[in-house]
Structure 1
Amino acid sequence: MDSNEWKPSQSGRKKQDYGPKVNFKKHKLKVERFSGLPCFSHLLIDRMMQHPVLKDFLPVEQCNLDYRPEQGSAIDPHFDDWWLWGERLVSVNLLSETILSMSCDSEDFIQLHHTEMVCNAQSYDPVTGNSESIFNFNGDNTHCTGNDGVEMTSDIGQRPVPYKDVEVAIRMPRRSLIVLYGDARYKWKHGIYRQDINSRRICSTFRELSEEFSHGGKQEALGKELLDIALSFQGVPV
């Protein structure tokens, strides 16, 4: 990655984009400068697809972000776009561990208690092949697990509390992979606090196409063009 230029980004970050040029507000995109995903990601994506959650995952965009503590690097809690980008967000955490913080603005209530259960946020180690269910983000049955990968913090205790008073801290070890989908994608915001960047960290996030650009969608032809370019693995940062 460091053989290519890192461009300044927001909140003390630098970035490399491998994807189409997009105006999300106007719902417009250009493919002229898009040359595909980088060649070094081909093997990684093949290994991702060995995991059941990602067996049909076809990324059309990769964004590398460079976080450094001396730059005060962080990313505010946010939702990723869902006009162009689809259900699953896949991020690979490199060089150092960090904490992914999840928050929700809803005034609805949830019941907090500890349990182990299948959930819709998963961490995956692409080196060992081990996966770990992290957190169920669905409705009133939301739980926090008993492992040290998640903390739910609330000074109200174990009784119904508003979503907005709950924060989920997901530990992301070096060389781990996380997939956000379902409510973890569309209801909960994700971000990284400055205090959780202790040394240089690289995050590679991969995104798939939304239904509008997929088979049967209104812009299926454009989606196929984007996917063909992306999976040529001849890309340079745009």
Structure 2
Amino acid sequence: MAAAATAEVPEVLQECGCKGIRTCLICEGRRHCDPPWQLSPQDYGPKVNFRKQKLKMGDFRGLPSFSREVVQRMGLYPGLEGFQPVEQCNLDYSPERGSAIDPHLDDAWLWGERLVSLNLLSPTVVSMCREAPGSLLLSSAPAAGPEAYADCLIAPSRSVLCQEVEVAIPVPCRSLLVLAGAARHQWTHAIHRRHIEARRVCATFRELSAEFCPGGRQQEVGHELLQIALSFQGRPV
């Protein structure tokens, strides 16, 4: 009976929940789907207009309660000391839906130095590109460890245009990926459609920029955001 009921639902174009750099075959108008495939992102954070550099609290009540322990454990890892996220975005990637995310740099007006993503359910690949004029100096090394260098000839370095370089970063299931420094500000990151081979859930956490931290021009706003975020009483907005 359940199968018969499902079969009666007509195939119609659904609103997929994608926005901005998020994309799938549904929002591109190339795929129809039944309602059970419709999985929207969940955002826990203030409402932000990045172009006008304005924000308002809106219905923001904090990060979700289930993230409290995750955030606490993050701070135990080297490089994440003092990490206090004020925004969490949960994304659900599906190969049937053709999910992907375009190459982009995250905003640097509101979001701070470290972008942290928790990868769940399946492995994937994050692709990094440097969209800048000029070239990069690439060097080759033996596949074996450093101890093999003495017995191997290393290929000479060569210069390659930045636009021709893409670095593929394997991201295993249940791994934590941190983008900081040049990877945060100079290299775009993306997930190609071909690298979503099974359902993937990702939780991305963002901290405040210096402008919203103590001593910054909007430190009061930042203090309020942190108090709300770390109350862990949030609902998706």
Give the structure-2-normalised TM-score. 0.78
The answer to whether the Cα contact below 8 Å between 1:102 and 1:189 also exists between their aligned partners in 2 is yes
Q: Which has the larger radius of gyration?
A: 2
What's the offset of the Cα at 1:14?
2.7
Aligned equivalent of 1:69, options 86, 95, 106 = 95
**Runs of 5+ unmatched residues, structure 1:** 1-5, 116-144, 147-156
2:16 is aligned with 1:17: no
1:109 partnered with 2:121: no
4+ runs deviating over 3 angstroms: none
Q: Does 2:34 align with 1:8?
A: no
Residue 91 of structure 1 aligns to a residue whose secondary structure is: strand
Separation (CA, whole Å) in 2 of partners of 1:7 and 1:39? 26
User: How many equivalent residue pairs?
Assistant: 195
Q: Mean alpha-carbon deviation: is it higher for 8-17 or for 191-200? A: 8-17
Q: Distance in 2 between matches of 1:48 and 1:232?
A: 17
Corresponding residue of 1:40 = 66
Which amino acid in the other structure matches residue 195 of structure 2?
D
User: Tell me, what secondary structure is at the counterpart of 1:14?
Assistant: coil
Letter in 2 for 1:47: R
Indicate conservation of the 8 Å contact 1:11/1:73, yes or no: yes
Partner of 1:140: none
Root-mean-square deviation (Å): 2.0
Percentage of matched positions with identical amino acids: 57
Partner of 2:162: 163
SS state of the match for residue 216, structure 1?
coil
Q: How does 1:128-143 map to 2 (within 5 A)?
A: none
Shift, 1:226, TM fit? 0.2
Map 1:168-179 to 2 at 5 A: 168-179=167-178
Q: Which residue pairs with 2:112 in the alignment?
A: 86
Alpha carbons 1:7, 1:16 under 8 Å: kept: no
Report the Cα distance in structure 2 between the residues aligned to 1:205 and 1:26, rounded to whole angstroms: 23
- Please say if residues 140 and 157 of structure 2, whose CA atoms lie closer than 8 Å, have aligned partners that are also in contact: no
- Higher relative CO (Cα under 8 Å, sequence separation at least 6) belongs to 1
Give me the whole-angstrom Cα distance separating, in 1, the residues matched to 2:16 and 2:222: 27
What is aligned with 2:184? 185
Deviations 1:64-91 (Å, cap 9, x if unpaired)?
A: 0110011110000001111100110000
The residue number in structure 2 matching 1:222 is 221
